[in-house]
Chain A
Amino acid sequence: MNESPIVAAHDLVRVFGEGDAAVRAVDGVTIDFPEGAFTAIMGPSGSGKSTLMHMLAGLDRPTSGTVTIDGTDLSTLDDADLTELRRDRVGFVFQFFNLLPVLTADENILLPLSLAGRDPDNKLHDRLVEAVGLEDRLTHRPSELSGGQQQRVAVARALMSQPSVVFADEPTGNLDSKASEGILDLLRRAVDEFGQTVVMVTHEAYAAAIADRVLVLVDGRVVNDETPESTEHVHDLMNQAAA
């Protein structure tokens, strides 16, 4: 494992609104994500976990504090640079609406590369397609795929550009348990077989349990940072946080 973290946040604060109505969604988070680790961020709704992820991924700017991805301080980037960083060094898997309906599965997988005008790494492409098990679905449009298949395409897309880090925001939130299992397995393999760094926001204990590390957020602060042993363990962590 590398010494320097691939993603680092220092004293992150995000305030929504002004004056009396101001809400500190993220309130002083300092945290490192080492390379090749699978981290789950948990917390009750309104705990600020999504807001934290948005800032870590360069989708939102912190009110104060800094985020560093692969040595780059995001606060020094303008919108165009941030976009480029997301394109080249960050992979995304969202809960809903991950794919462009007008593109085929394969075109969706290659989208970030196409946007960058880069040629795909064919070997990686073949390995990924095989890993997500979509060899015979590549020319299908998203509307012709099941929810689980769509999400697997999204994971493949996130991995295709070999990003520094993959952020997954409730990637199983919209799936049945069998499909969820498939996606979680895929993310796990991304870490184990492809050496990816994955940060996943979830509120489901069984999902968090497959991670190497679980962060629990409450009221915008990290209240727990542990290695999950089992689903039950994660449940306990959550219950502690709620108490």
Chain B
Amino acid sequence: MTSLALRNLGARKLRSFLTALAILLGVMMVAGTYVLTDTIEQSFDKIFAESNEGVDAVVTSKQAVETDDNTEPPIDAGVLDRVREVDGVSIAEGNIGDPQVAIIDKEGERIGGGGAPTFAISASTSDAARERFDPLTYVEGGPPEAKDQVTIDKAAAEKGDFSLGDQVTLAGKTEARQYTLVGIATLGDVENFGGASLALLTLPEAQRITGKQGQFDQITVAAEEGVDQETLAKNIGAALPPTAEVETGEEDTESSQEDIGEFINILKTALLVFAGVSLFVAAFLIFNTFSITVAQRTREFAMLRTLGANRRQIITSVVVEAFAIGLGASVLGLLAGIGFAPVIGLLFDAIEIGLPKEGTVVETRTIVVALVLGTGLAVLAALIPAVRATRVSPVTGLREGAVLETSAGRRRRGVFGIALTALGGVVMALALFGALTPGEAWVGVGAATVFIGVALLSPRLVRPMASVVGRPLEATRGVAGRLARENTTRNPGRTATTAAALMIGLALVSFVTVFAAGLKGSIDDAIDEGITADLLLSNTDNFSDIPALAAEEVKDVPGVESSSPYRYTQAQVEGADGTSYLSLIDPATVSDIFDFDWREGSAETASDLGPTDAFVDEGWADDNDIGVGDSFAVTTPSGKELEYAVTGTFKDNTDFFGDYVASGQDAAAYGEADNVTNVFITLADDADGDAVRGEIEDVVDTAFPTAKVQNREELKDAIGSQLNQLLGVVYALLGLAVIVSLFGIVNTLALSIYERTRELGLLRAVGMSRRQVRRIIRYEAVITALIGAVLGLILGILFAILVSRPLADEGFVLKFPVATLLVLLVLAAIAGVLAAIGPARRASRLDVLKALAYE
């Protein structure tokens, strides 16, 4: 009896451990997310506070259009003279601070790889200004004093292996140039800007390299003694032209911090969603574990009740157990999360989002949320099994093999499951078609509802699915396969919940897989059908602009038929919701490079496009009730007002061109005179493609090191690999949920093996080998995993179909990456095998005599 009690305890220890581990992983992800994002936010706050020290007021131009990069257009240099005249101004200094430059290392590669920006910053123009404003600490040398000198930050110098006196190449909106390194600096005691770099130039050179001659990005002001920031700002405000605005130094720091805070919030939300998925899966596991153990203890509870314990006392005892496990796991999860935060940070590094991460910030909120969430979830998931257990009357419970659930209860569960699944589907559909806002959140709620619904429904699916999945095993593996299949259907509810946990992870994985494949395929189609150019230039980071000059220089390469500048930018269309993306093209060459999918109009519509003409995306035009012959008004990011007459409509597949296409002749009005998004190139018919490409590359490599040459296939590959990178990160984040669900399989197996101890003893006695025992357990795990995987794949594909419906208008075509999906199935089966290792070993090592419970 002692050995039995010990084994019992052992089984419980393992069960508690595995349950705790599931909660731990979920909480770890939540806590890690908070710690990471808080750390990033604090690091940024510090950077902004440091760089704004000594600044009492900041003058910038007004932001006319809310663009994605959220930067103000430059301000006219003349404003500086007005500011200097204002009462209370002691020093006013015009600055450049532009993130669109690159430091090129000795191998010709950009430092930081393009993931994090490099800022061109202007050096102070007077000693007084330097003393007051300059946030930099010069570790070596000093600020640049001539136009061919540069000072860069310490991290960039180390990365590029630069030392004072070296020649450093900088690329901006003009041809790249070499500068002599005269200083290496840090920003106060901040060493890590999260991969961002600084290049300090003299003011005129900074203006030249950023294409802002006669302009500043901002004017920083110091007040005279005794003048407070508010008074100063008010005085300056009165003197400014209507296009400019002023903030106090403090306000400016705060608004910078808020801007970055918004960005970090998006990251935080995304990460928390994934953490939520893990916790959701963990809840399934906890629920299942408690269901099983409570069922195993029905007799114990019944006995307690006959001895006079009331229902509440029994429920309390189960809940207390869950509370203890939940709290313990949450505390460990919190600690693990603090350690895990940098690991999540690596994911950003993987997709080249450089973010500063200095120190470790653990807010009270992090602790509270982690503990409440983990403990609450454990208690909640244990409550239903506890209530269910005590519903059995004591007398019934005492009988051997008391069944906790009636068939009527099971039927009710099935009906409820169907209802929830349908409800979830409807919620998703409504959210996707804009009837529920915010759409993303409601889609999530709908999906979670579907998951719960299918989980409730799935006990009915277990038997048929186990037949299908288990049949081949039975046919090839004989009695072990047969027993495994029968064992999984013995308690369909248990198998279903275990499989459902894996289903969630796999549904999301296959959803993103199918969706990404559709996206990739649609983009490929759009490129194949829409772009006729032979080559294109784009930024090596794949999204930033490149100098407009590149189009001119490439045009002169022999063998180039046409070189067409293309700009993708934003503006505010009067009367339209949100800002519009738009394309600016060169009408003279556009017919060589693009083949628009015309609805009204023809290639001539594009080549005859006048400076005040535009042709528009059909869908957008319909939404805004605009047609050919109408006109619409636009405010550009630099605050210019333009009016366009609509000369045609086209179908914009995958939203490549944006809402409207206009002539690049007005690029200056959009603040885009000096830079382009791409240059599209067609070669002469008789040109030697490789040779011409080689010459174009020579031009680009020396003069425009931030640009690269691609053909259509390479463009598709580049987009594909970017998508894959992103996909990899999503897989990694979902991986945690899958791991949690594997613990679920381990847990369920361990518990059912414990229940079947005598049976296993019998099998061993009548001649089942250890290997055969292991095989049974392994097949059980594989069958369970495959049920989860198949359900997950089906749901994932359905989700992808549903989510892509509203995008069909934009040319989104679903593609089913059959091979990848099959690989997912195989991986699920392998995961099942892995999950079975421990339980199978345990089962095969049972002492036959003890298992038969003889002694």
Q: Do A103 and B483 touch across chains, with their CB atoms under 8 A apart?
A: yes
Given contacts A59-B848, A100-B483, contact A115 B490 (CB under 8 A): no
The interface centre, meaning the residue of B758, B769, B772 with most chain A CB atoms within 10 A of its CB, is: B769
Q: Do B762 and A86 touch across chains, with their CB atoms under 8 A apart?
A: no
Q: In the docked arrangement, what's the CA distance between A112 and B478, Å?
A: 12
CB distance from B15 to the nearest CB of A (A): 23
Identify which of residues 108-143 in chain A touch chain B, using a CB-to-CB cut-off of 8 Å. 111-112, 114-117
Which residues of B have CB within 8 Å of A22? none
Checking B759, B848, B849 against A100 with a beta-carbon cut-off of 8 angstroms, the contacting residue is: B759
A181 interface contact, C-beta 8 A? no
Checking B759, B766, B848 against A115 with a beta-carbon cut-off of 8 angstroms, the contacting residue is: B766
Which residues of B have CB within 8 Å of A225? none
B726 interface contact, C-beta 8 A? no
Q: Do A115 and B479 touch across chains, with their CB atoms under 8 A apart?
A: yes
Which residues of B have CB within 8 Å of A54? 849, 854
B803 interface contact, C-beta 8 A? no
Q: In the docked arrangement, what's the CA distance between A96 and B762, Å?
A: 10
Q: Do B486 and A102 touch across chains, with their CB atoms under 8 A apart?
A: yes
B268 interface contact, C-beta 8 A? no
B827 interface contact, C-beta 8 A? no
Q: In the docked arrangement, what's the CA distance between A197 and B771, Å?
A: 29
B299 interface contact, C-beta 8 A? no
Residue interface mask B486-497, A partner, CB < 8 A = 1 = 110010000000
Given contacts A54-B849, A102-B486, contact A92 B763 (CB under 8 A): no
The interface centre, meaning the residue of A115, A116, A157 with most chain B CB atoms within 10 A of its CB, is: A115
Q: Do A157 and B766 touch across chains, with their CB atoms under 8 A apart?
A: yes
Q: Do B762 and A100 touch across chains, with their CB atoms under 8 A apart?
A: yes
Identify which of residues 477-529 in chain B touch chain A, using a CB-to-CB cut-off of 8 Å. 478-479, 482-483, 486-487, 490
Given contacts A100-B762, A102-B483, A103-B486, contact A116 B852 (CB under 8 A): no
Q: In the docked arrangement, what's the CA distance between A114 and B769, Å?
A: 12
Checking A59, A86, A90, A117 against B478 with a beta-carbon cut-off of 8 angstroms, the contacting residue is: A117
Q: Do A114 and B767 touch across chains, with their CB atoms under 8 A apart?
A: no
A188 interface contact, C-beta 8 A? no
Which residues of A have CB within 8 Å of B482? 103, 107, 114
Q: Do A97 and B849 touch across chains, with their CB atoms under 8 A apart?
A: no
Given contacts A83-B769, A103-B483, A115-B479, contact A94 B852 (CB under 8 A): yes
Which residues of A have CB within 8 Å of B765? 59, 86, 92, 94
Q: Do B849 and A59 touch across chains, with their CB atoms under 8 A apart?
A: yes
A84 interface contact, C-beta 8 A? yes
Identify which of residues 169-227 in chain A touch chain B, using a CB-to-CB cut-off of 8 Å. none
Given contacts A54-B849, A92-B765, A97-B762, contact A114 B479 (CB under 8 A): yes
Q: Do A102 and B487 touch across chains, with their CB atoms under 8 A apart?
A: yes
Q: In the docked arrangement, what's the CA distance between A115 and B486, Å?
A: 16
Q: In the docked arrangement, what's the CA distance between A80 and B771, Å?
A: 9
Which residues of B have CB within 8 Å of A30? none
Q: Do B770 and A83 touch across chains, with their CB atoms under 8 A apart?
A: yes
* Closest residue of A by beta carbon distance from B483: A102
Q: Do B759 and A101 touch across chains, with their CB atoms under 8 A apart?
A: yes
Checking B490, B769, B770 against A102 with a beta-carbon cut-off of 8 angstroms, the contacting residue is: B490
A98 interface contact, C-beta 8 A? yes
Number of A residues near B (Cβ < 8 Å) is: 30
Checking B762, B770, B852 against A80 with a beta-carbon cut-off of 8 angstroms, the contacting residue is: B770
Identify which of residues 812-849 in chain B touch chain A, using a CB-to-CB cut-off of 8 Å. 848-849
Q: In the docked arrangement, what's the CA distance between A99 and B771, Å?
A: 20
* Closest residue of A by beta carbon distance from B854: A50
Checking A60, A101, A112 against B766 with a beta-carbon cut-off of 8 angstroms, the contacting residue is: A112
Q: Do B768 and A87 touch across chains, with their CB atoms under 8 A apart?
A: yes
Checking B478, B768, B849 against A83 with a beta-carbon cut-off of 8 angstroms, the contacting residue is: B768
Which residues of A have CB within 8 Å of B479? 111, 114-115
Q: In the docked arrangement, what's the CA distance between A100 and B769, Å?
A: 16
Which residues of A have CB within 8 Å of B767? 83-84, 86-88, 90, 112, 115-116
Q: Do A94 and B762 touch across chains, with their CB atoms under 8 A apart?
A: yes
Which residues of B have CB within 8 Å of A99? 762
Contact residues of B: prevailing secondary structure: helix
A20 interface contact, C-beta 8 A? no
B212 interface contact, C-beta 8 A? no
Q: Do A115 and B762 touch across chains, with their CB atoms under 8 A apart?
A: no
Q: Do B768 and A115 touch across chains, with their CB atoms under 8 A apart?
A: yes
A18 interface contact, C-beta 8 A? no
CB distance from B406 to the nearest CB of A (A): 18
Q: In the docked arrangement, what's the CA distance between A50 and B849, Å?
A: 11
Given contacts A102-B483, A102-B486, contact A87 B766 (CB under 8 A): yes
Q: In the docked arrangement, what's the CA distance between A79 and B487, Å?
A: 25
Q: Do B772 and A115 touch across chains, with their CB atoms under 8 A apart?
A: yes
Q: Do A100 and B763 touch across chains, with their CB atoms under 8 A apart?
A: yes
* Closest residue of A by beta carbon distance from B769: A83
* Closest residue of B by beta carbon distance from A143: B401
* Closest residue of B by beta carbon distance from A111: B766
* Closest residue of B by beta carbon distance from A86: B767
Q: Do B766 and A86 touch across chains, with their CB atoms under 8 A apart?
A: yes
CB distance from A147 to the nearest CB of B (A): 13
Q: In the docked arrangement, what's the CA distance between A102 and B483, Å?
A: 7
Which residues of A have CB within 8 Å of B486? 102-103
B110 interface contact, C-beta 8 A? no
Q: In the docked arrangement, what's the CA distance between A96 and B765, Å?
A: 13
Identify which of residues 134-175 in chain A touch chain B, using a CB-to-CB cut-off of 8 Å. 157
CB distance from A79 to the nearest CB of B (A): 7
* Closest residue of A by beta carbon distance from B772: A115
Which residues of A have CB within 8 Å of B848? 59
Which residues of B have CB within 8 Å of A112? 766-767
The interface centre, meaning the residue of B478, B768, B849 with most chain A CB atoms within 10 A of its CB, is: B768
Which residues of A have CB within 8 Å of B763? 100, 111, 115
B357 interface contact, C-beta 8 A? no
B567 interface contact, C-beta 8 A? no
CB distance from A54 to the nearest CB of B (A): 6
Identify which of residues 751-803 in chain B touch chain A, using a CB-to-CB cut-off of 8 Å. 758-759, 762-772
Q: Do B770 and A79 touch across chains, with their CB atoms under 8 A apart?
A: yes
CB distance from A37 to the nearest CB of B (A): 22
CB distance from A67 to the nearest CB of B (A): 15
Q: In the docked arrangement, what's the CA distance between A25 and B272, Å?
A: 62
Which residues of A have CB within 8 Å of B770? 79-80, 83
Which residues of A have CB within 8 Å of B478? 114, 117
Which residues of B have CB within 8 Å of A79? 770
Given contacts A59-B848, A59-B849, A115-B479, contact A97 B758 (CB under 8 A): yes
Q: In the docked arrangement, what's the CA distance between A96 and B761, Å?
A: 12
A-B contacts besides A92-B766, A115-B768, A115-B772, 7 pairs, CB < 8 Å:
A80-B771, A83-B767, A87-B768, A97-B759, A99-B762, A114-B482, A115-B766
27 sampled A-B residue pairs with Cβ under 8 A: A54-B849, A59-B765, A80-B769, A80-B770, A80-B771, A83-B767, A83-B770, A86-B765, A86-B766, A87-B767, A90-B767, A92-B765, A94-B765, A97-B759, A97-B852, A99-B762, A100-B759, A100-B763, A102-B487, A111-B763, A112-B767, A114-B478, A115-B479, A115-B763, A115-B767, A116-B767, A157-B766
6 residue pairs, one from A and one from B, having the closest CB atoms: A87-B767, A102-B486, A114-B479, A86-B767, A83-B769, A97-B758
